[in-house]
Amino acid sequence: MNYIDYDYYINFTKSKITVPVFEELVEIASRIIDYKTMNKAMNFENYSDFIKDRIKKATASQIKKLVKDGGTNAVDKTNVVSESIGSYNYTKASKSEQKVETINGIEVSPMVDFYLFPTGLLNRSLR
């Protein structure tokens, strides 16, 4: 299940992307939300409006992060560590130095945790 539609994304983020790009990224972002919540978000229809709203905001924030990182290239990118062109030299910080959460190599927006934390969906304890 994808947690938002194109209109929600545009209204919430005030960003402009095409519908085909959105359709590619909403699936990825929704699966990241499922992963982060240990699939608890899949019970979307059973939750209160507050929790539904937070799931939607987290999904939109993750799509925005994916767009910023290059869209589907953010998913398929190779990990370039360093490159040199003439006297120009670039070295990418390691993931541990960046302090950026990744799921299968895809960077997760810090806003995902920000929106999902008050819902209890990130709770890893046994019931």
- Residue where the block lists tokens 């939300």: 33
Tell whether the model's pLDDT for residue 47 goes beyond 90.
Answer: yes
CB 110 within 8 A of CB 31: no
Tell whether the model's pLDDT for residue 104 goes beyond 60.
Answer: yes
Tell whether the model's pLDDT for residue 81 goes beyond 70.
Answer: no
Domain of 55, in residue numbers: 6-77+107-119
CA dihedral 25, 30, 34, 36 (to 10 degrees): 60
> Which residues, at least 6 apart from 74, have a Cβ–Cβ distance to it below 8 Å?
65, 66, 106, 107
User: Does 73 fall in a domain?
Assistant: yes
Q: Could you tell me the two tokens for 30? A: 């929704």
* Residue range 34-52: mean pLDDT, rounded: 97
User: Does 18 fall in a domain?
Assistant: yes
Sign of the dihedral through C-alpha 123, 101, 56, 54: positive
* Domain count for the chain: 1
Tell whether the model's pLDDT for residue 98 goes beyond 80.
Answer: no
